[in-house]
């Protein structure tokens, strides 16, 4: 190789590479609006990839937007459920308050015909051992309550009497179904006199001391307070004769269904005026 070529080897190689690059670039230059072959190749290779990537991001965006929307809807639904719960509770309280007012008004109207002083009280508890024995009311000695004051339901039927213990704000009411309760009664039609004693085991009463020879009583007859016990004023409804049987004793066994209804025993009336007119 000539000495000149040896000395200029590197510049000649560089010039050759530069010329090849210019030729390559000139080939890639589009003619008018026509894209180059390289551009076409790149387009056909990467366009589907771009479409897939765009679709992936668009789908992910829609999923995210749907998730955010569902979270908002769930939050709104929970708020509506909470509001509905509070509205139902408010409605229940208002309904109960209205029922209490209505029951109190019914008591006042019914008992006004007795021409006696009375006090309306709410039932706040029952005897845990036997519901037929006693109840607790929300009035006590601070309200003038003392033992043996008669207690009636909103229809004027006998419930029982106030008995110990009596606190300042509460009092115990012995129900007429208690087996230690005894009320002087008589039959409405033929005025057969006896004593109404409770039967706490079954929630009923027994009409006692009616002779076996007495034929004046019939099933379904009403029993009213006689007033002979000096506790209950006469003429109050106590119960209805359910059955009449004769056994080996001197007296008939008469089962009485009391008018006491626990489902309507939200409020009671305590007669504060005694049968002798004192309080």
Q: In the block, which residue shows the tokens 């080897």?
A: 9
Give pLDDT tens digits for 203-241. 899 999 999 888 899 999 999 999 999 999 999 999 999
Is residue 168 domain-resident? yes
Which whole number is the average pLDDT over 128-135?
89
Q: Please report whether residue 8 resides in a domain.
A: no
| Mean pLDDT computed over 109-135 | 80
Q: CATH code at 212?
A: 2.40.10.350
In a domain, 122, yes or no: yes
The reported pLDDT for the residue numbered 198 is: 94
Q: Which pTM value belongs to this model?
A: 0.61
Residue 142, domain CATH: 2.40.10.340
Q: Would you say residue 11 lies in a domain?
A: no
Same structural domain for residues 188 and 257? Answer: yes
Q: Specify whether 195 is located in the same domain as 228.
A: yes
Query: Residue 7: which pLDDT band, with cuts at 50, 70 and 90?
Result: low
Local structure of 194: helix, strand or coil? strand
Whether 89 maps to a domain, the answer reads: yes
| Backbone phi, psi, residue 244, to 5° | -130, 125
Has residue 2 been placed in a domain? no
Give the count of domains, the chain: 3
Confidence bin at 114 (pLDDT 50/70/90): low
Is 45 domain-assigned? Answer: yes
Which tokens hold the place of 154?
A: 């909103």
Enclosing domain of residue 144: 118-177+267-271
Q: Give me the mean pLDDT over the 38-57 stretch.
A: 63
Same domain, 192 and 254: yes
End residue of a domain, out of 89, 113, 137: 113
Q: What is the pLDDT of residue 71?
A: 82
**In this structure, are 77 and 58 located in the same domain?**
yes
Domain-located, residue 5? no
Residue 101 has pLDDT above 80, yes or no: no
Closest CA to 150 of 67, 232, 68, 212: 232
213 and 244 fall within a common domain: yes
Whether residues 166 and 125 share a domain: the answer is yes
- List 175's β-bridge partners, or say none: 160
């Amino acid at each position: 190789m000539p000495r000149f070529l040896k000395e200029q080897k590197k510049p000649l190689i560089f010039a050759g590479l530069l010329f090849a690059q210019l030729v390559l670039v000139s080939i890639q230059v589009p003619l008018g609006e026509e894209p180059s072959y390289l551009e076409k190749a790149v387009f056909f290779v990467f366009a589907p990839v771009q479409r897939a990537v765009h679709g992936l991001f668009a789908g992910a965006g829609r999923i995210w937007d749907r998730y955010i929307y569902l979270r908002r809807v769930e939050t709104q639904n929970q708020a509506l459920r909470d509001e509905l719960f509070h509205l139902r509770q408010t409605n229940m309280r208002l309904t109960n308050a209205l029922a209490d007012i209505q029951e109190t008004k019914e008591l006042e109207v019914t008992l006004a015909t007795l021409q006696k002083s009375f006090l309306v009280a709410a039932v706040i508890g029952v005897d845990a051992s036997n519901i037929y024995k006693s109840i607790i009311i929300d009035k006590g000695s601070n309200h003038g309550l003392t033992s043996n004051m008669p207690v009636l339901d909103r229809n004027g039927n006998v419930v029982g009497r106030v008995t110990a213990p009596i606190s300042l704000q509460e009092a115990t009411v012995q129900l007429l179904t208690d087996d230690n309760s005894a009320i002087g009664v008589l039959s409405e039609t033929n005025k057969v006199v006896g004593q109404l004693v409770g039967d706490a085991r079954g929630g009923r009463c027994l009409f006692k001391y009616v002779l076996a020879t007495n034929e004046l009583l019939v099933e379904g007859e009403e029993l009213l307070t006689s007033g002979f016990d000096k506790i209950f004023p006469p003429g109050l409804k106590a119960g209805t004769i359910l059955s009449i049987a004769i056994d080996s004793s001197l007296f008939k066994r008469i089962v009485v269904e009391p008018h006491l209804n626990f489902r309507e025993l939200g409020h009671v009336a305590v007669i504060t005026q005694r049968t002798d007119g004192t309080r």
